[in-house]
Amino acid sequence: MFTDMVGYSALAQRNDKLALELLEEHRQLLREIFPVFNGTEIKTIGDGFLVEFNSALEAAQCAIEIQRTLSKRNHDVPDTRRIELRIGIHIGDVVHRGGDVYGDGVNIASRIEPLAGAGGICVSMDVERQIRN
């Protein structure tokens, strides 16, 4: 699973202090949610995360919970303090090396993440097939 904060780069150019505050809050919120769904944080990449799960279903459930949590949070804050994410999920073989993961599973997840709208989740067809039921 890849996550990305929507509009972070533009915000950082306008108000670096606020951008860093929201980035830290975002990281704290997500790090509380990942373990609930057996997610393992592989690394942060700028304003996003790469997270590995044991199953496509757990990844999808985690993504839904992340978006629900952020939606509730955003309801009570001014527009300038909203945190919105795009999430991409793919399932596939990966290779673990030096605390990182590599492979098509990672590459495809990173490529489909931008296809999700703000507050959205984009899953590959392989993930959709596994979680359909």
Contacts of 45 (CB under 8 A, 6+ apart): 2
Percentage of the chain modeled with pLDDT above 90? 87
Task: Give dist(CA 12, CA 100) in Å, integer.
Answer: 27
**Could you tell me which of 45, 51, 8 has the C-alpha nearest to residue 33?**
51
Question: Does the pLDDT value for residue 84 go beyond 80?
Answer: yes
User: Which CA distances in Å does 107 have to 27, 58, 75?
Assistant: 22, 19, 33
Report pLDDT digits (tens) over 105-128.
888 999 999 999 999 999 999 999
Task: Give dist(CA 81, CA 128) in Å, integer.
Answer: 32
Which residue segments constitute the domains of the chain, with CATH numbers given? Answer: 2-131 (3.30.70.1230)
The CB density around residue 115, as the number of other CB atoms within 10 Å, is: 12
Are the C-beta atoms of residues 65 and 30 closer than 8 Å to each other? no
Question: Does the pLDDT value for residue 132 go beyond 80?
Answer: yes
Task: Give dist(CA 4, CA 46) in Å, integer.
Answer: 8
- 60: confidence class by pLDDT, cuts 50, 70, 90: very high
Helix or strand run (H / E) with residue 84: none
Tokens 């990449």 sit on residue:
45
Report pLDDT digits (tens) over 5-22.
999 999 999 999 999 999
